[in-house]
Amino acid sequence: MAESGASPLPTTPPARSPLFRAEQFVWLTARVLEQHLFAYHFLHGSPEAVEAALDAYRNDDGGYGHALEPDLRGPVSQPLHTAHALRVLDAVGRCGGQRVERVCRYLTSISTPDGALPAVHPSQRGYPAAPFVPVVDDPPSELLATGPVVGLLHRNEVWHAWLFRATDFCWQAVESLDKSHPYEVQAAVAFLDSAPDRPRAEAAADRLGRLVREQRLAVLDPDRLDALPVAPGYAPGEHHFPHDFARRPDSLARAWFTDEEMSRSLDHLAAEQHEDGGWPIRWRRWAPAPALESRPLVTIEALRTLRAYGRFVG
Q: By the 8 A CB rule, do 19 and 13 touch?
A: yes
Average pLDDT over residues 203-211: 98
pLDDT score of 228: 84
pLDDT band at 1 (very low <50, low <70, confident <90, very high): very low
**Of all residues in the chain, what percent carry a pLDDT higher than 70?**
95
* Direct distance between the N- and C-terminal alpha carbons of the chain, in angstroms, rounded to an integer: 23
Average pLDDT over residues 279-307: 97
Tell me the C-alpha distance between 84 and 270, whole Å.
24
pTM, two decimals, is 0.93
Average pLDDT over residues 12-25: 84
Q: pLDDT digit string (tens) for 63-92?
A: 999 999 999 999 999 999 999 999 999 999
* Residues whose CB falls within 8 Å of the CB of residue 23, separated by 6 or more in sequence, listed in order: 13, 38, 42, 43, 277
Q: Which of 35-44, 142-151, 176-185, 219-228 has the lowest mean pLDDT?
A: 219-228
- Judged against a pLDDT cut of 90, whether residue 16 lies above it is answered with no
pLDDT score of 88: 98
Tell me the C-alpha distance between 136 and 146, whole Å.
17
- Judged against a pLDDT cut of 90, whether residue 226 lies above it is answered with no
Which DSSP string corresponds to the chain?
-PPTTPPPPP-PPPTTSHHHHHHHHHHHH--HHHHHHHHHHHS---HHHHHHHHHTTB-TTS-B-TTSSTTB-SSS--HHHHHHHHHHHHHTT---HHHHHHHHHHHHHH--TTS---SS-GGGTTS-B-TTS---SSPPP-HHHHHHHHHHHHHTT---HHHHHHHHHHHHHHHT--S--HHHHHHHHHHHTT-S-HHHHHHHHHHHHHHHHHTT-S-S-GGGGGGSPPPTTPPTT----HHHH-SSTTSGGGGGS-HHHHHHHHHHHHHT--TTSPPPP-S---SHHHHHHHHHHHHHHHHHHHHHTTS---
How many residues does the structure list for the chain?
Answer: 314
pLDDT band at 312 (very low <50, low <70, confident <90, very high): confident
pLDDT score of 9: 43
**Of all residues in the chain, what percent carry a pLDDT higher than 90?**
89
- Judged against a pLDDT cut of 70, whether residue 196 lies above it is answered with yes
How many Cβ atoms are within 10 Å of 173's Cβ, its own excluded?
20
Q: pLDDT digit string (tens) for 155-189?
A: 999 999 999 999 999 999 999 999 999 999 999 99
pLDDT band at 26 (very low <50, low <70, confident <90, very high): very high
Average pLDDT over residues 226-237: 87
